[in-house]
Amino acid sequence: MLSQQLIAALSRCNNGQTSMSFSLLRRRAAQATRLYSTPSSPAFKQPHTTESSTSAAEYKLAHPKRRPPPLPSIDPPQWSAQEAVNNIVYNTPPPSLQPFTRHTLNCLVQNEPGVLSRVSGILAARGFNIDSLVVCATEIEDLSRMCIVLRGQDGVIEQARRQLEDLVPVWAVLDYTRTKTIERELLLAKISILGPEYFENQLANKGPDILPATEGVEEGSPAKQHADNTLRAAGSIHPNVDVDTAAPHLSPSEALRQKHTHLSGIRLLAEQFGGKMVDISNDSVIVEMTGKTTRVDAFLKLVRPYGILEAARSGSMVMPRAPIASPWSGMADEDAAADEVEAFDASLLPPG
pLDDT at 147: 94
56-80 pLDDT, tens digit each: 777 777 777 778 888 888 877 788 8
Does some domain include residue 88?
no
Q: Which domain holds residue 166?
A: 101-179
Does some domain include residue 307?
yes
Do 172 and 283 lie in one domain? The reply is no
For the chain, first and last CA: distance in Å?
69
CATH number, position 257:
3.30.70.1150
* CA separation for the pair 292, 273 (Å, rounded): 10
Nearest Cα to Cα of residue 138 among 168, 161, 171, 164? 171
Residues of the chain with pLDDT under 50: 2, 16-19, 38, 41, 206-212, 234-247, 338, 341-342, 344, 352
pLDDT at 36: 55
Tell me the whole-structure pTM to 2 decimals: 0.56
Do 200 and 274 lie in one domain? The reply is yes
Does some domain include residue 228?
no
Do 201 and 256 lie in one domain? The reply is yes
Which residues 6+ apart lie within 8 Å of 232 measured at CB? 243
Does some domain include residue 279?
yes
112-149 pLDDT, tens digit each: 898 999 998 988 888 888 899 999 998 988 899 999 99
Amino acid, single-letter form, for residue 100: F
pLDDT at 188: 96
pLDDT at 247: 45
pLDDT at 92: 87
* CA separation for the pair 277, 282 (Å, rounded): 14
Do 159 and 196 lie in one domain? The reply is no
Does some domain include residue 69?
no
Number of domains in the chain: 3
Does some domain include residue 350?
no
Do 112 and 24 lie in one domain? The reply is no
Does some domain include residue 46?
no
* CA separation for the pair 315, 322 (Å, rounded): 22
Do 190 and 283 lie in one domain? The reply is yes
Does some domain include residue 257?
yes
